Structure 1
Amino acid sequence: MAARSSSQQLVAAAVLAAALLLLAAGAGTASAAVSCGEVTSSVAPCLGYAMGSAASPSAACCSGVRSLNSRASSAADRQATCNCLKSMTGRLGGGVSMANAANIPGKCGVSVGVPISPTVDCTKIN
């Protein structure tokens, strides 16, 4: 049971982080590479909402979303983060409400210009 919960949390984190990468597509300044650990840490507070156990994203979730959006400011950062997340989602299974995951950026006041989807083509992120 704990393994399934952990798997669901990682999938949720991956989906959310992919969404956050897409948010940052409009930013154009270079930054240090964003690690998979940083992505997971940034979106971990969003898991309750993404998995349907919370009515709205927490303040910590929104802070993480904004922080990740700021850090993943180059195309290389966004693509690397996207690929990391897709790798995680490929290894793990369900439990995430895609509707909730897609709503997180908007509920946190972060603009998204690309649809949020676990099937996003990371090479198209710029």
Structure 2
Amino acid sequence: MVVVGNRKQLMSLLLLLCMIISGVVIPPPWAEAQVTCPGLVNTLLPCANYVLNGGDIPATCCPAVKKVEDSLKTKQDRQSACQCVKETFAKAKPDQLKRAQDLPANCHLPALPFPISPNVDCSSISK
């Protein structure tokens, strides 16, 4: 028999027990991507007009691309971002796709760990 010292410990224990009984599994924090598509799109909003219409790269775009690059720390993050980019550019015009592909180089940043393409196999992204 488990002896529980206070009400808070009892509630925590009951909650854990209910989760185990109901089959709810909480994945470890490293098992899910921290990068979400809405978050990625929101971060890259400063680049949207340039990618869609061309012209000059806004001053706020390159720091946004850098922020995305810095956020791709795990395999799951890279695969999640890849899938988002793939879906985002599925119907892009060739010139829009080209501007997006050239953005890291134009910002003097390393290439993303996956190609910016609607045809990439995101499940193969590891590094």
Q: Over aligned residue pairs, what C-alpha RMSD do you find?
A: 2.4
Counterpart of 1:124 in structure 2 is 124
Contact 1:36 1:84 in 2 (8 A): yes
Q: After TM superposition, what 4+ stretches of structure 1 lie above 6 angstroms from structure 2?
A: none
Which position in structure 2 is the counterpart of 1:41?
Answer: 42
**Structure with bigger RCO (C-alpha 8 Å, 6+ apart):** 1
Give the superposition deviation at 1:116.
2.9
CA distance in 2: counterparts of 1:77 and 1:114, whole angstroms:
11
Say which structure is richer in helix: 1
Equivalent residue runs for 1:1-126 within 5 Å? 33-55=34-56, 57-90=57-90, 93-95=91-93, 97-112=96-111, 114-126=114-126
Residue 72 of structure 2 aligns to which amino acid in structure 1?
Answer: A
Residue 100 of structure 1 and its aligned partner are, at CA, apart by 1.1
Q: Runs of 5+ in structure 2 lacking a partner?
A: 1-29
Q: TM-score under structure 2 normalisation?
A: 0.62
Determine the C-alpha separation between the residues in 2 that align with 1:48 and 1:85.
16
Q: Please state how far the C-alpha of 1:80 moved relative to its aligned partner.
A: 1.5
1:89 shift after superposition: 4.4
Identity score, percent: 29
Task: Tell whether the 8 Å contact from 1:35 to 1:81 is kept in structure 2 after alignment.
Answer: yes
Structure whose alpha-carbon radius of gyration is higher: 2
Partners of 1:125 and 1:66 in 2: CA distance:
19
Q: What CA deviation, in whole Å up to 9, does each residue of 1:67-111 have, x standing for no partner?
A: 011111111111012223334445xx3345222111100111111
TM-score computed with the length of structure 1 as normaliser: 0.62
Cα distance in 2 for residues equivalent to 1:98 and 1:87: 12
Q: Aligned partners of 1:63, 1:99: CA distance in 2, in Å?
A: 19
How many positions carry a matched residue from both structures? 94
